[in-house]
Structure formats: structure tokens, C-alpha cells
A and B are shown apart, each in its own frame.
Chain A
Amino acid sequence: MTIERAVSPAQRAVEVLGGDLTEATLKRYLDGLPGVDAVGLEQRAASLGTRSIKTTSKAWALDRIIGLIDLTTLEGADTPGKVRSLVAKALVPDAGDPATPRVAAVCVYGDMVPYAVEALGDAHAAGRVTEPGDGLINVAAVATAFPSGRAALPVKLADTADAVAAGADEIDMVIDRGAFLSGRFGHVFDEIVAVKEACRRADGSFAHLKVILETGELNTYDNVRRASWLAILAGGDFIKTSTGKVAPAATLPVTLLMLEAVRDWHRLTGENIGVKPAGGIRSSKDAIKYLVTVAETVGEEWLQPHLFRFGASSLLNDVLLQRQKLSSGHYSGADYVTID
């Protein structure tokens, strides 16, 4: 492989990096990004985490968190019945309070997409842009040999196209971490461009592409920043922290760093990219810290389902319990929310 190898002329990258895109220009650009001081980044994240969100702000935050959740089940043991049950929970998160908002999306393996689409019925967003409170729910599918990404490109593309054809509104792809860590940025770039193309529907529109960086495997914050820019340049609509299968998954400093990349991209081009922390966010308290971080880093206009998501399964129930506590004044217990 030669370093002067041309990479796919993805529109964004051409606009920002200029005409003849090669692996070398891409690498130079990514290596030229300002460094990240780990101590400073973690301090900033910790200080955002000390914001005290009370009363009316807390009530708003809890409802908004629900509206930003990708309710997820990604187990080998998943069944159509489990997926139907997940969809039922997505539609009516709290049986005791019909005013509870619906989640943003359900996130499943590709083969489960038809069942999710069927179970959603009219509530399926089916390509429409959703707003909090419109009751529409997206179907997100993980693809590209999730979670390891260890498959040949044609397999990854078929995986993607299959999910899109089955009605997935969003594709959560994984990057090839091995290629990224060995410095083959062009390879990772080309794959993202190809998967984006595989997200094209018959009518020419695209399923939204979330690019999973698997930050737990990238090791350094500098790598996370480079991978974020790489994913955005290649055409990702969302950058996502983790598969949830690798520890550490989402952390506040990593999410802050990705939000900074998104903020800088907006400053450069005016374009809005989404961010999705996934895995490890289980409590309302933690989720509120993420809302604060989003609002104070990129602005509160990012607290919309098309720009920010939580990838989580157990978070929803904790938020429901907190919501019940806020309205009733006392804590209930695990048996007052449904298990899925």
C-alpha cells in the first residue's frame, strides 16, 4: 500500500481538504489537529459534572433524556418476541403515566429490523425527521459485522444494505480499529464512505449513518479526536462512542471531546453532526451530566434526537423511577417499572 494512494472523494473531505484526496493529505490533516491534554480534558468534564440540576430543570431534563434514548437490545439471544416487547416499551415507556414521552429509536441487530418495523406500525418514523413529542420512533440497526468489524468489506456492505432494505432508518457502523491504530486512515475512510453509500435507499435518500469509534480501543484522546474528524470527513451523520461490548464504553471526557469536534466542525462548515454516547450510562444522574455537557459545549439546540442520542438499555428505567419520584414525592422501586 502506498501512502499516496487516492481515497474516495467524499464531498466533505474534498471541500475541507481540497481536490486530490490521498491517504497522505488525509493523514497530514488529522495529524495536524491540535493535541488534547488529558488532565485538562478530564478536569473540564468533572467540572461540568458538578452542575446541580434541580426542580423544573430536572423535570425537563428527565423528559428530554427519554426522548433522546436509543432503546437497545444487542444480544445473541434476542428473539422476535424480545424485540416486540422492546418496541412496546419504546411506545409506552411508563404504563402508569401515558404522558411519558416516547424514546427516539429502538436499536437492534439487522435481522431483527423487520420485527421492529412491524411492531412500530404507524409510529415508525420511516425516514421522516423526528422531533421530541411527535411520537415517531426510528429503527436503528447495527451493521458492518458489529461489534468487532472483523469481516470483508463486501460482507459489511451487504449487512448494511440488508438492514436498510428491511426498513432501518439509521445504521450504526463500526470502524476498523485495527486499521486506524496502524495508521491506515485511508482504509478506514474508504470503508465509511462505502458504508454511507450502502445506506442509500431505493428512492435516493439515505439512512442516517452513525459511526462507532469504539473509543475504549483507541486508547488516547488524541486518537479519539482524529477518529472523530475522520468519521465526519468521510460523511458520518453521527459519531458514536462505543458498541457497549468493550470497556470502557462511553465516558464523559470522551463525549466532551467528541462534542468539541462537532462544535469545531460546525464552526468550520455550519453543518450539524450528531453525537451518541453509548454503553455504561445507567443512571439519570449520569445522563443529566451529559445533557449539561452538550448544552455548555455545542449549545442546547443539540439536545434534539437528530443531533444527540443515548445508546442505553437500563437507563430508561432509572429515568422513569426518577420521574415518578418527581411527581409523587417519594421513591418507588424496581417493580414499578417494566423490565423491558
Chain B
Amino acid sequence: MSFLEYAPAPESTAILDLKPEYGLFIDGEFTPAAGESFLTISPATEKPIARIANATDVDVDRAVAAARKAYDKTWSRLSGRDRGKYLFRIARLVQERARELAVAESLDNGKPIKESRDVDVPLVAAWFFYYAGWADKLEYAGAGSNPRALGVAAQVIPWNFPLLMLAWKIAPALAAGNTVVLKPAETTPLTALLFAEILQQADLPAGVVNIVTGAGDTGRALVNHPDVNKVAFTGSTAVGREIARSTAGTGKKLTLELGGKAANIVFDDAPIDQAVEGIVNGIFFNQGHVCCAGSRLLVQESIHDEVVERLKSRLETLRVGDPLDKNTDVGAINSAEQLARIRELSEIGEAEGAERWSPACELPENGFWFAPTIFTNVSTSHRIAREEIFGPVLSVLSFRTPAEAIAKANNTPYGLSAGIWSEKGSRILAVADKLRAGVIWANTFNRFDPASPFGGYKESGYGREGGRHGLAAYLTSTAKEGQR
């Protein structure tokens, strides 16, 4: 036996106590929906997990009405200090139920348990703790004098970090004093529904947070509802555009966190072993289902071959497979639809003349899987260097001078994130200054912290989430209203 074929170390699902069927969470209760329910499946096995309610216009209307009532009658009348207490309570309950949430996330989303356990869920708790602290200090958030909540926030989140994106949306909204109607992604509603149970446990006043499940139609009904004051969306640029169009002129405040095609720039003086790790983490973390993924690797010409060689041997040690196995590095692709898109773009990459390489790895028979893949000999005009693939696919390009690196990095309709690898501090600062991206990592990648704002340029959206800046999206002030 080879030691490297570690014996299976599966995380037990016994900790989960799932219901066979989930309704909508409206006004503090689970209630049935008018629409026909659908199944949520595990992308690793294609086995059904639970039946999920599909909210129609009527249900969305009920949810928004509950949020409005809660805003008028309860939440807007509570002091910041009291709102903070609820948020602290939620944060602690998330920590208490961390293992359960991690298992549910991996089951429903397909991401490796080590990521849901060590990254997603701890960050969820951190987000609630962080914004709990802000709830009674809004005066100092830099949002103008006498900052006040907007009212009802409609929030639509993606499937790549289901619970974490929920936390990014709900924590600042509640801290600022808004009430919320949130729609999780169609393929990953499970942890949002477990979160609803946590809200019941926390005794959060009814209607402050409502969760409506469903597909695109549900989301459309929610963002177009006349009684919401704020729309926050994370997802694809196409949908983001549609939302921007439909909310224009309605007076709804809008933040969009959309796609990306981040450049990860490796200079010849980079700490090379850590850069290789950073490249791997940048694109293979969460199967590349990360809007800020470092999907374009820009390597200085003089070290191109060495970096590619080291990267390939590192990829040989990645373990693809059962998301619930504690040793899995790369899990399942979230849906058949996403898998088809990754395959299509990869085939286009080959057809356009890029060189495709994947490590030898056995993929499970059932479920949706895609081996980690790198493309070399990629040109800036190739579609795999332009379009967001949202999968474990890396395009490698080279550059000769820092100016060329900057030009290539900025030559994208997106502008969410970028990475710089160099041991020279002055170079990092000079290059970072010229990159048009909302988040720039130096000698690291895909690191998140509730205190740090996150958001994009250009087609990557607008508005910031996280930090003090994240509160501004959910606040208005007397001074600002006077300017209108």
C-alpha cells in the first residue's frame, strides 16, 4: 500500500438532523410555498438531500410584507446595542453548530470539508461577530451624521459560498438596522435553512430575516418588489446587468458583486515555493468557484518554465474526490450546468491552440467532476484568458517587464482582484498602485477578513462588502437625504 493513498477519513453526516422537506422561512416560521417544490442534490453523488420550497410572487410578497412589518414595529425601534446582542448570539450559535454547518455545506455544495470547516464557517462566525460590534457605533462608520437604516433589503446570493455569502449580506444589514429577505441559490439552499433554525434558536424577532428559496424567477420577483429599499446581489455579470436595469429609477439602493478574471502576477524575485502554493490556492480553492479566483497566471518570462514545472508537480499531490473526506483538496463541481460550461470553455481553449494539462487523477463515476487543469501557451486574445470560467482551470501567460504585466492584468472587462508575488516591497506597492482591481493580495491569495472591504471595478460590480465600507451600503444619513 502506498502511504500517500491515505485511508478514507470521512466526516460523519450523523451530526445532521435534516428534514425531508423545507418550507420558506417567513415571519419567523417555516411555511409552505405556493410553487412546486424541487430537490436539492449532493453534487458529489447526485443523490437527493431534501425537498425545497419554490417561492412564487405571492410568497415573495408575503416575505417582504413580513420584513416591512418587522422593520416598522420592532427592528427600527431597537437600540444598536440590542441589535448587537442578537448578532453576537447568532455568531455564537454558528460556532456551536459549526461542525453541523460545515457538513451540510460540503454535502450540498460539493466543497471539501476541510474548506467548509476551516474557512467558510469560521468566517461566517467572524462576520457576525465583527458587525455585532458595529451595531451601536454606526455614528463612527463614516456614513455621515445620524446614520439610519434603509428599510427592507432584498438580497440574492450565489452557490459558491452559500453560508458565507449569506453572512456577508445579513450581518451588515442587520447591524445597520435593516430587515432582510434573502434568496439563496437554487442549488445550495440547505445551510440558509439551517441558519433559519439558528435564528429561531437566537429568538430573533419574527420577520427581521426572511429566507425564500427558489430559482431565477424568485430572485427576479424579490429584487423587483416595489416595497424593498435596497438590493444586494452577488453572482454573474449578466444577471447583475439585468438587476441594474430593473432597479434603475426606482430609488432602490444597489450593490453588485459580480464576476472576475483576476491576474496573479509572479515576478522573478518571488518566494517561489510560496508563490506556487498561492497559485494553487488562487485557482483550485473551492474548485475555482470563486469570483476573485486567480484564474490568469502572469509569470515573468525568466522563471516561466520553472514555475510551470513546479506547479505541475505540486498539482500531482492534489486529492480530488469525496468532499466529506477530510483529506480531499478539490471537491465536486456544484452543478451539471456549471460542469458543462467549464468543459465547453476548456475545449474552446484547446481549439484555440493553448496547451492543456491535468495531473493523473481518478474521478468518481457519479456526480460532477472536473480535474484540476492548466493551460499554457495562452494568448491574451484567447477566450480562456478573457471569460470567467468559474472552475478549476488556470490560464498561464507570461510577461517580460513590470509595465507589460500591469497592462495585461488590467486588460479585462473585470476588476475584482489581483495578486502580486515579489520579495521586493517597493515593487509590490508600485504595481498595486497601477492595477485596477478592488482587492490586491501581496504574497498571498484568497484571504478574507471581515474588517477588510471587498468589491470590484468595472464589470465586477460596485459597492463594497466587509469592513466599515460594507456598512455604508446599508445606511443613509440626514445629510445625504438633504442633497437629493
Contact = CB atoms under 8 A, between A and B. Distances in A.
Contacts of B270: 34-35
A contact face: mostly helix, strand, loop, or mixed: helix
B1 A56 contact: yes
Interface stretch (A43-51, A211-219, A272-280): A43-51
Nearest to B317: A296
A40 B444 contact: yes
B352 interface: no
Interface in B312-334: 317, 326-327
A27 B217 CA distance: 67
A295 B5 CA distance: 10
Nearest to B113: A52
Interface string A8-30: 00000000000000000000000
A60 interface: yes
B272 interface: yes
A40 B443 contact: yes
Interface string A178-214: 0000000000000000000000000000000000000
Contacts of A64: 3
A37 B277 CA distance: 11
Interface residues of A, number: 27
Interface in A31-63: 34-37, 39-41, 43-44, 50-58, 60-61
A300 interface: yes
A55 B5 CA distance: 12
B23 interface: no
B8 interface: yes
A303 B3 contact: yes
B248 interface: no
A111 interface: no
B114 interface: yes
A149 to B, nearest CB: 29
A56 B444 contact: no
B9 A52 contact: yes
A340 interface: no
B271 A37 contact: yes
Contacts of B273: 34, 36, 40-41, 44, 260
B4 A296 contact: yes
Given A36-B273, A296-B317, A58 B443 contact: no
Interface centre among A35, A39, A50, A296 (most CB of B within 10 A): A35
A287 interface: no
A254 interface: no
Interface of A: 34-37, 39-41, 43-44, 50-58, 60-61, 64, 260, 291, 295-296, 300, 303
Interface of B: 1-9, 114, 118, 269-274, 277-278, 317, 326-327, 423, 443-444
7 contacts: A35-B423, A37-B271, A39-B274, A41-B273, A53-B9, A296-B4, A300-B4
